Structure formats: C-alpha cells, structure tokens
Chain A
Amino acid sequence: MVFKSLYLILREFFNFIRGIDQALIEESVSALQLEYVELEVAFLTLVLGPLVGVKTVPTLLTLELLEPLRDEVRILASRAPRGRDVLADLMSSLGGT
C-alpha cells in the first residue's frame, strides 16, 4: 500500500517534470505561433474578402479557392466572433510581469 502510494507520487512527479520540459520546448515557438495566426488571418481575409464585400482578388478566384481552403474557412469562422477579443491571447503568449 505504502509502496503503491509512493510509486503513484513518483510517477506524478516525473509526469510533472516531463510536462514542464514539454512546455519549455513549446515556448520556443509560442510567440511565433501567434504571429503565424495573424498572418494566416491576413491571408484568408485577402483571398476570401470578396465573399464579404472586400474587393481584394477576383470573386471567381475566391470561389475556385473555396474547396482547398475548406479547413481554413472553418478556422476563420471560429475566430471571427473573437476578432475583438485577442488582447488576452497576446498577453498569454508574450510573457509575464
């Protein structure tokens, strides 16, 4: 019983260390990821703009791109309602005070 508890505690401890290590590795791209998301949004606005009245590229080209951009359109649709709520995302990704 005691050994089992000790084993569980040790296992959690090593999981904790592994988790911190993984977090450190992921931190190496966290801010870049945020910038990537911004670029992606800019790109999608550029190619899909004509669908909402923003004249960027010919509408036919946008319609032609709809099929290959299926996943991106889904992501854009999920982000659109949060367009005015990105300060918190920025604050989480840029480091503490």
Chain B
Amino acid sequence: MYVLVILLIVLAIYVIAYTYYGRGILERRVVKASPDRLTPAWEKFDGIDYVPANKYVLYGHHFASIAGAGPIIGPAIAMVYGWALPLIWVLFGNIFIGAVHDYLSIMASVRHGGISIMSISENVMGRKAKYIFLAYVWIALILVLAAFISVAASIFVTVPQAATLSVLFMPIALLFGLLVYRTGISVRMATLIALILLVLAFIYALRTPLHLTYEAWVVILAVYGFIAAALPVWYLLQPRDYVNAYLLWAFVAFAVLGALLTAGYALTGPAYTSFKAPGAVIGAIPGTAAGKAMVAYFWPAVPLIIACGALSGFHSIVGSGTTSKQLSSELDALLVGYGAMLTEGAVSSLAVILPIALAWSFTSLEAATGAPISSALSKVGIDVAKTPTILGLPAAERFYTGYGIMQALAWSKILGMGNFETLFTTFRTFAAFALSAFVLTTLDTANRLARFAWSEFFDWLKPIDETAYRFLTNRWVASMVAIAIGAILAYPQISVYVPELERHITVYAYAIVWPAFAGTNQLLAALALLTSALWVYAVLKVRGWISLVIMAPALFLWITVTAALILWLVAIAPGLPLLYKLGAGTMVAITLILDILLIALFVYGLRRAS
C-alpha cells in the first residue's frame, strides 16, 4: 500500500463525512440548524463573553483548545494491531462519534444560552449528574497529569536535545511576555523575535543535549507543574501557549507536506497483525503473566489505547465553554465542532499512523528507498540488528522516530540523500520537542483545572462545614493534591527482561497509566454523548431512525468503554504493582461506579421524556 493511497482515502472519507453525514444528517435533520435563529453571541451580546466571531477564527481557537499530545501517543501504542485497525478506529470514531459528540456539545450549549455540558446534564438528568461529571473530570485530569509527566520525562531521557530546547523555550516565552505586555512591542514583531530565537535555540540544542535521569525529570516536571499553575498567566503560561500554537500548526503542515512528498513510497508495515495483543498493550507489566496473556482484544480494548485521536470527553467541556458563546451563526458550528475534530483525527492519521506504518521495518525501507536509515538510527542509539522494527521502541519513541524518518525521506528528495542523517536527527528532535511542548502545556493547564474541579466538587460541603471546605479548597492544598498524586503515579520506571527479545526493556509509567487515563476520558465522552443524545430526544423531540443516528453510537461507545474498563480491572489491575492497584485501579473502579449511576439517571431521563 502506498502513502498516496492512504492519504487520498483519508482525505476523501473526511470530505464525504463532512458533507453528507455532518451537513446532510446532523446539521439539517437532527439539529435543524438555522441561520435565522439567534445564537447566544448575538442574543446576549456584551462585548466580552458573548461576542460573535468569524467562523475561521473560531475554528482556529477551538482547534488550539482541543489539540494536544493525546492524539499522538494512543495511535502509536495501537500500531501493534497493524496500521489498518487503528486507522479505521480513528476514522470511524471521528466521523460517527468524536465529531458528532463535539458538534452536539456546542449546539446543545448554543441552544441553552451558552452554558456548559455539565450544566446541561444537570438540566436534563438532575443535579447529581453535574457532581458525577465533576468527579469524572477530576479523576481524568489526575490521570492526565500522571501519564503526561511520564511521557515528557521519557522524551527528555531518549531525546536529550528536546530537553535542552524545552528548557531554553521557557526564557524565550518569558521574553515574549515581557516584550508584548511590558514594553508594548507589537505582537507580530515580538512573535518574529521569539520564533527566530526558537530556531537559534533549536540549532544550539541539537549540539548540546541535556542528560538527566527519568526520575529527576519526573520531579522537575512535577515542581514545574505546581509552580506554573500558581504563577500569574502572563509570566509563562500565556506566552508559551501562544508560541506553541505556531509549533502545532508547523507540526501539522510538515505532516501533510511529508505525506505528499513521500506519496510514492510503499508502507513497510503490515495492515493487520492480529485482533488480539498481549496485556502489556493495555498497561500490564511486560514479562508478567498478565503482560503475556493475549487479553487485549482490539474490541473492546481500543478506547483504552486510542483516546483523543478518535474522540475525547474533554472536548464536550471545551466546546460548551467559550466556543458556544462566540458562535456567530448556527451554521458555523459544523466547521468549528465537526471540522476541528476531523482535523485532529487527520493529525493522528497523517502525523502518527502513516509515518509509523511507513517506517515500520527499518531494513525494508532502507532497501526500498536507498536512504541510510540504519546508520541514522545508530546515531540516536537505535541498533537495527536488535530492534528491526519500529514496534521494538516505546510508544512515544515510535512516533518521533517514524515522523523523523518520513520527514527526512521527504526533504532529502529536495535537498539530496546526503543530508538524510542530518534531516532525520533534526526532524526527530523537532517531533520530540513538539510532543513535549504539547505535554508541558497540558501539565499546568490540567493542574489548574483539577484544582478548580476539586473546589467545585466540594461546594456541597460549604453549608455543612465551612472550615473543612476552606481547607480542602485552599488553592495550594487543591493544587498539591492533584500534582502529588500525578507525580507519584508517574515516578516508577521498570526494567523488565523479555526472553523473546533477549534483552531488558524499560517500561515507563505512562505505559501503565495510559489505559486508565484513556478509558476515563472515553467514558466521559460516552456520557457526554449520551447527554447529547438525551437532549436530541427529549428537548429537540427528534424521533425515528434519525434519533438512532445519535443514540446508537452513544450506546455503542458506552458499552465498549464500560466493557474495556471492566476488562482492565479484571485482567490487568490485579497484576500491577501495589501503587497502581491503589492509584489507577481505585480511580477506574470509582469511575465505573459513577458510570452506572449516570446511566441510571440517563434511563430515568429517557423514560421521563418518552
């Protein structure tokens, strides 16, 4: 299979889905969007919160708010099934679940005057539903902290140049903030200065790697997450997020250009390997009985692996936040909600699945292209004799190694094959840095949000015991609880001897925590989609097969995720070290209990509406 064929299939499916499913069914038949109905941006216009925005500007904001590291790690793990199943899940999940979920969350919020999906759930399912949502969000954010601290630390250990660049990125972001907010230099000029400095820092970082241990990075990142979340935003968070937005778009643009330039190469990876994989794929320790047992059936285990690339529960909250208050016309929601999710899916397909599928077998690709791949890999410490395929690398490393190889192949067509090794090192570092930058952005954001969700969750305590409420919701206590649990779960790195490979492999904490994070996130998506489905049924009064278009994917997702989490609790959690049994295991068990409670509220709401 050629890169070009996959590229064309992916783009064609997205265009057809957007036009016929998104516009034809969702917009016209389900929501019956109308340009004549005033949106909250007009109805409640106040020039600050409620302001109509241009649809492309809003799309840009919304995409920056939903895209992060999530769509990258999951598909990289899922490649053990071959490239076809992850690709099908990303496309299927995007079109029928993820984008529908995002679009309906925005539209439900728009029709409720711009309130969030949590408040809508309170309206359609009762007050308890809101607290359940908050508990979900908090648990999911803790698991985000644990998984992402571990991902970032593992990147800095394997690509120490990315560590140097990330450290240099901080003062550049601070300088940008000072230039714009203190000296009054225009944003464009300050952006230019920051981007030039970033390029210089990149060149410096390539020659000056920063070596620290994994554990040291976990501690540093946890301290960073704690401090950054407490700092005023203009110091670091705002400028860094802003420069990151350029990084995100550059990353996406390179992925598309890379795919176009390598369109004539054949993928070296198999489309399909097996429908089942060892338990290690969904968090069990490799080498143990649970790690070896073939329990990770693609269905229902896939939502424990691929999270944000196909669908994400966080998007329902993001979409019903500022986005719904700035929507100028109901007709814009399709591009902003449905379109942005398809774009995120395209990032997973084109920037992760495609490069890994192309670079799967290093020797085959070397033979087919004539590029010095083995020699380039040996320079970054990968011995092709011991690691003949990309699957021998940890998930995060699969991504930036695959991305680096695809980009090097693409640009060496223009710059000459003699530059392949330099291009590979450069793009591998760029991809690793981009991934770490997305992760770092999420770290302090997740910590701030976890603190807030924690405080909101305990508001019932205030009239009962004000002292306890004040202590629990103190900003330092709330921040510390979240980051401390996250860091403790991220700290271990386990070295395991795998007889089949005849060598020790390092298992980073994220490989264990990721399924718990992904599962919780996907369950949140299932519940948000059920809320939307109930809204469509009870409020919009949509009946017949059209209502099934929403109800069926919502129930399918709920059954899939619930089954996957039960599988994880039964087959994986008992074999984990005590820390994860108590940490991730308890959190997943609590989310499952809340899940049952919420589904009961859903059924009650459905019966009341019938």
Contacts and interface: CB of A to CB of B under 8 A. Distances in A.
B59 A19 contact: yes
B321 interface: yes
A23 B60 contact: yes
A75 B323 CA distance: 18
Given A78-B46, A95-B244, A97-B70, A85 B116 contact: yes
Interface in A24-64: 24-32, 34-35, 37
A3 to B, nearest CB: 22
Contact of B245 (A27, A34, A35, A90): A27
Given A27-B242, A91-B317, A82 B46 contact: no
Contact of B321 (A35, A78, A89): A89
B217 interface: no
Given A23-B57, A28-B187, A31-B237, A92 B321 contact: yes
Contact of B49 (A31, A32, A78): A78
A73 B188 CA distance: 35
Nearest to B141: A97
Nearest to B67: A96
Contacts of B323: 92
Centre residue among A16, A89, A97 by max chain B CB count within 10 A: A97
Which size bracket describes the interface of A in this complex? 35 or more
A2 interface: no
B456 to A, nearest CB: 6
Contacts of A70: none
Contact of A90 (B61, B144, B234, B448): B448
Given A19-B54, A25-B187, A84-B456, A95 B48 contact: no
B246 A24 contact: yes
A85 B459 CA distance: 13
Given A31-B241, A35-B233, A93-B65, A23 B116 contact: no
B411 to A, nearest CB: 23
Interface string A66-81: 0000000011001100
Interface in B127-150: 134, 137, 144
Contacts of A88: 116-118, 317-318, 320-322
Contact of A32 (B69, B134, B233): B233
Contacts of A22: 54, 56-57, 60
Contacts of A97: 66, 68-70, 144, 308, 312, 314, 442, 446, 521
Contacts of B318: 88, 91-92, 96
Nearest to A16: B56
Contacts of A89: 49, 116, 321-322
Contact of B449 (A16, A26, A82, A90): A90
B119 interface: yes
A47 B233 CA distance: 25
Interface in B21-80: 44, 46, 48-50, 54-62, 64-70
Contacts of B56: 15-16, 18-20, 22-23
Interface in B220-273: 232-234, 237-239, 241-242, 244-246, 249
Contacts of A30: 61, 238, 241
A6 interface: no
A89 B49 CA distance: 10
A18 B60 CA distance: 10
15 contacts: A16-B59, A19-B54, A22-B60, A25-B187, A26-B61, A27-B64, A28-B242, A30-B61, A32-B233, A32-B238, A82-B114, A89-B322, A90-B452, A96-B64, A96-B318
* Nearest 7 CB-CB pairings of A with B: A19-B56, A23-B60, A92-B321, A88-B116, A88-B321, A96-B68, A92-B322
Given A82-B115, A90-B321, 4 more contacts: A23-B61, A24-B246, A87-B453, A95-B244
Interface of A: 15-16, 18-20, 22-32, 34-35, 37, 74-75, 78-79, 82, 84-97
